[in-house]
Amino acid sequence: MITETTINEAQQKQPKLYAHFMHLVQQNRLTHAYLFAGLAGCGKKAVAQAVAMALFCEHPEPDGAPCGVCTECQRILAGDSPDVVMVSPDGQRIKVDQVRYIKDEFAKSPVEGSMKIFIIEGADTLTTNAANSLLKFIEEPVANRVIFLLTTNKSLILPTIISRTQLVEFSPVAADVFAAELAAEGISRKQTVLLSQLTNSLEQAKALTTDDWLGHLQHELARWYTQLAKRDATAFVTVQTGLMPLATDRERQSIVLDAIIILWQTTLMVKYQQTDLPQPFPDSQADMQTVAQSITQRDLLAIVTEALATKKALNGNMNFQSIIETLTLSVLDGLAE
């Protein structure tokens, strides 16, 4: 059953957080707003749904956990409970009419129970205006409302929202566990390390490896990185001919940027002599050693910071090619002798 699958997912992927929240439910100590941050597939939604089920379950377990089989548990997972509002992005963003729906539901009292739960996936896709419109509800908590904002990128969440919610960082699924799942799908070891840093979602991992898209991305990023390591301006050509054809939509553009961030964070690890860690870009190891030895810590940190900023630029609807080319220029400046 889907309820049992969700509970199992929450228990297996985030056992400590699952137990913690079941205890909070049992002790009636939930706060009014949470920000769940972590990789796609790491169990954020499963934990949030498990909390909602625990609050409404007709036959809870002694530890406060939901039974997973009663009518209320099944209604919540089917999206049929009027007191559990679940919203996810419609396409690339949470749309205006969805925000209006959330606000309308905030203004209503619980229909059947004593609580009203809101689970909003992709909170980072809210526009600034939309996020601000929800902020007043978070700033003025109501005793019988609990909101869970779910994000894969907390840096895209308004600081005012972060400061008014309880931030819960979800750790990645154990690397060996996820690697075993990927191996069972026939995904090569060369790709599993990078995949495990990009996502914890098996479904997304399979989508990224279809037609060897991820393999092509690793190859083109390795080529781009080699050119940068040599201070070769043809890196701009690789952006146009190698990376742009892979960035076919906003989701793929975001993945490309995530991979670039991982590439430079790995270089930083090499700089700090952490070379025994799994390598997401095995073909770039020699170049990473060269770059790490030839650049100052300050300049490398500046490049990592620039790479991290690309996600905000993309979220601000800046042209993707301009984002990569601007980063390329910054890297070449940082590596200049």
Confidence of residue 337 (pLDDT cuts 50, 70, 90): low
177-335 is classed in which CATH architecture? Up-down Bundle (1.20)
Confidence of residue 1 (pLDDT cuts 50, 70, 90): very low
**Helix, strand, coil percentages for the chain (3-state, nearest 5):** 60, 10, 30
Q: Is the pLDDT of residue 3 over 60?
A: no
Q: In Å, how far are 12, 49, 224, 306, 329 from 229, measured between CA atoms?
A: 42, 47, 9, 17, 13
Mark residue 141 as left, alpha or beta (left: phi above 0; alpha: psi -120 to 50; beta: remaining).
Answer: beta
Cα–Cα distance for residue pair 58/56, rounded to 1 Å: 6
Task: List beta partners, residue 36.
Answer: 150, 168
Average the pLDDT over 302-322 and give the result. Answer: 92
Asked if the domains 2-169 and 177-335 are classified in one and the same CATH topology, the answer is no
CATH of 2-169, one of 3.40.50.300, 3.40.50.150, 3.40.5.50, 2.40.50.100: 3.40.50.300
Confidence of residue 229 (pLDDT cuts 50, 70, 90): very high
Q: Strand, helix or coil at 29?
A: coil
Q: Is the pLDDT of residue 18 over 50?
A: yes
Name 143's Cβ contacts closer than 8 Å, sequence gap at least 6. none
Name 52's Cβ contacts closer than 8 Å, sequence gap at least 6. 76, 81, 84, 117, 119
- Each residue of 63-109: pLDDT tens digit? 889 999 999 999 999 999 999 999 998 877 888 888 889 989 988 89
Domain residues of the chain, as ranges? 2-169, 177-335
- Each residue of 265-297: pLDDT tens digit? 999 999 988 767 778 999 999 999 999 999 999
Average the pLDDT over 143-154 and give the result. Answer: 92
Mean pLDDT, the chain, as a whole number? 91
pTM equals 0.80
